[in-house]
Structure 1
Amino acid sequence: MRNLFYPLLVALALPLTGLAQRGGGQGFTQQFNQGSVLLSSGDTISGPLALHRGEETLTMTLPDNTVRTLPAVNVQSFAVRGEQYDRSRERFYYDDFYAMRQGYYSGSPAFGGTPPPRRRERADTNLTRVFRVYRWNRDNDYSDFKAPGFFEQLSSGPVILLRREGLVERPITAGNPYGYGSYSGMPGRPIGYYTEVKDNFFLGLPDGTVLPLRTPKKDLPNYFRTHARQLAQYAKANDLNYTDARDLAYLVNYANSLQEVK
């Protein structure tokens, strides 16, 4: 286990300059068969791991079968693999962000201009996922209070694309693909709800702050304002979608490369 994640956690230590309440993430827990956690103390521990999204905590089963609870304040970063597969997610959800975490973008000389495989036809939960801890205001623009939270790293730096997942409830109405069988309610009125996972994107800035990308197609060019036109041209030439996690990681890496050559 230590051999699997140790090189990755060494890199992470280096600075980089249930049912939900409607719209929330309460009760959202993800289980992973393997995990390795870099603690705030600099120590690492490994074992099966559960990520409790709403509580911003990890629980890890240690070799002696005891369970250790790790709040975000005690964690620097962690890597996981082997998530219990969620069949309710679309099949391409478990994508490989390894190349993007190394700085890949389409046409990048460092990668020979050859993109990694576009997507996997089957879910591969053995792909390593990397999480970092940032202090944030829980996406509340009117609060100055910041607490540590877990963010998944999808790109390289110095500006990093981050992702947080949450559960949201969607209404089922007549004609909705989730609304099976007969319908006798009022038109347009929900006959029930279903729960799905929603991606929320952020930029992790070099000073340690977090910038939400509520509308990535607008917010990303606004941050990289000097290179907004080049970003738009790059997105069009490579048919990139600002709401797709993989495509957005390409765009952030490309924007970082423009910052380097200015």
Structure 2
Amino acid sequence: MKKNLTRLAVVCLSILCGVVWGGVAQAQQRTALDVQEWAEGKVVLVTGDTLYGALTYYRTPDIVNVHHADGSMSSVSPVNVEYFIAQEMPSGRSYTFRTLNWDLDKPYSNFKKPTFFEELNRGALTLVVRESYVQRDGNGQAASSFYSDNALSNNEIRFSGQIKEQYYVLLPNNELIRLRNLRKDLHTLFGDKSKDVKSYIKLNKLEYEKPHELIAIINYFNVITNATGHVF
């Protein structure tokens, strides 16, 4: 009975994640490949101060412009920011970005750069995402590639094929793990719960490549982890 209730709760959570992720299609406005705007938002600074206003996020340089009601503007970077929340109106759909110290995917480097990551869930395993970009020339050929943050809006079809999400897992000790192979790397992290998660995936016919189902898979692990008291 307890297992059935847990499964039902996470299935409902999976459906909710699908609804939320589906809202991305109407929730974001891209004015360029790596530039996104929201009608409302707040930025919490490392000083404890909070800035409110419309947000413009430039992912390549990792800069957020806050447009204040009086017409003034503030520009902030990850080194100044704890987190920021962007909100689409009138839907109220929100997006949370956290500043995390990132090794730029160079695991043997001691240098870690404060960087914005979009937070997709929260728990023992917290899924965060950045995007890789490929700019194309007039002939449709790839001209260059670079990394930045956030998720693609489905209605920005002119950027189709130029944006790919790169997922990471944030551990409780704030270590970032890049998921180069979603299935393999996640089940390594799932450890002795891997078999239970595989059963849940099979039962609910989930796919790692679908963002809302990926979130549901990790959320299920977090639920059964909390239920058993497992700690990393």
**CA distance 1:257–1:171, shift in 2 (3 Å):** farther
- Residue number in structure 2 paired with 1:243: 209
For 1:223 and 1:261, the matched residues in 2 are separated by 17
Instruction: Specify which of 29, 35, 40 is matched with residue 46 of structure 2.
Output: 40
For 2:79 and 2:132, the matched residues in 1 are separated by 20
**CA distance 1:36–1:260, shift in 2 (3 Å):** same
Q: Per-residue deviation at 1:253?
A: 1.1
Query: What percentage of aligned pairs have identical amino acids?
Result: 29
| Residue-by-residue CA offset, 1:60-109 (whole Å, 9 max, x unaligned) | 112222221101011111111239xxxxxxxxxxxxxxxxxxxxxxxxxx
SS at match of 2:124: coil
- Residue number in structure 1 paired with 2:64: 58
For 1:60 and 1:191, the matched residues in 2 are separated by 34
Amino acid corresponding to residue 46 of structure 2 in structure 1 = S
**CA distance 1:209–1:252, shift in 2 (3 Å):** same
Deviates more, 1:137-146 or 1:234-243: 137-146
Asked if 2 retains the 8 angstrom alpha-carbon contact of 1:27 and 1:53, the reply is no
For 2:130 and 2:210, the matched residues in 1 are separated by 14
Instruction: Specify which of 125, 146, 151 is matched with residue 159 of structure 1.
Output: 125
**CA distance 1:199–1:73, shift in 2 (3 Å):** same
- Residue number in structure 2 paired with 1:67: 73
Gaps of 5+ in 1: 1-25, 84-123, 173-189
SS at match of 2:217: helix
For 1:191 and 1:205, the matched residues in 2 are separated by 39
- Greater strand content: 2
**CA distance 1:162–1:125, shift in 2 (3 Å):** farther
Q: Per-residue deviation at 1:169?
A: 4.7
Instruction: Specify which of 108, 129, 142 is matched with residue 95 of structure 2.
Output: 129
For 2:49 and 2:198, the matched residues in 1 are separated by 43
SS at match of 2:172: coil
- Residue number in structure 1 paired with 2:25: none
Q: What does residue range 174-193 of structure 1 map to in structure 2 within 5 Å?
A: 192-193=141-142
**CA distance 1:231–1:169, shift in 2 (3 Å):** farther
- Residue number in structure 2 paired with 1:7: none
Instruction: Specify which of 190, 199, 221 is matched with residue 224 of structure 1.
Output: 190
- Residue number in structure 2 paired with 1:13: none
For 2:194 and 2:176, the matched residues in 1 are separated by 20
| Residue-by-residue CA offset, 1:26-50 (whole Å, 9 max, x unaligned) | 9712111111111111111111111
**CA distance 1:169–1:239, shift in 2 (3 Å):** farther
- Residue number in structure 2 paired with 1:197: 163
**CA distance 1:143–1:191, shift in 2 (3 Å):** same
Gaps of 5+ in 2: 1-31, 143-158
**CA distance 1:125–1:216, shift in 2 (3 Å):** farther
Amino acid corresponding to residue 82 of structure 1 in structure 2 = E
Q: Per-residue deviation at 1:156?
A: 2.1
Q: Which has the larger radius of gyration?
A: 1
SS at match of 1:157: coil
| Residue-by-residue CA offset, 1:163-221 (whole Å, 9 max, x unaligned) | 1123225799xxxxxxxxxxxxxxxxx86357522111111111112111111111101
- Residue number in structure 2 paired with 1:110: none
Q: Per-residue deviation at 1:140?
A: 2.3
For 2:137 and 2:54, the matched residues in 1 are separated by 35
Q: Per-residue deviation at 1:236?
A: 1.2
Normalising by structure 2, we get a TM-score of: 0.70
For 2:136 and 2:193, the matched residues in 1 are separated by 37
**CA distance 1:170–1:27, shift in 2 (3 Å):** closer
- Residue number in structure 2 paired with 1:183: none
Normalising by structure 1, we get a TM-score of: 0.62
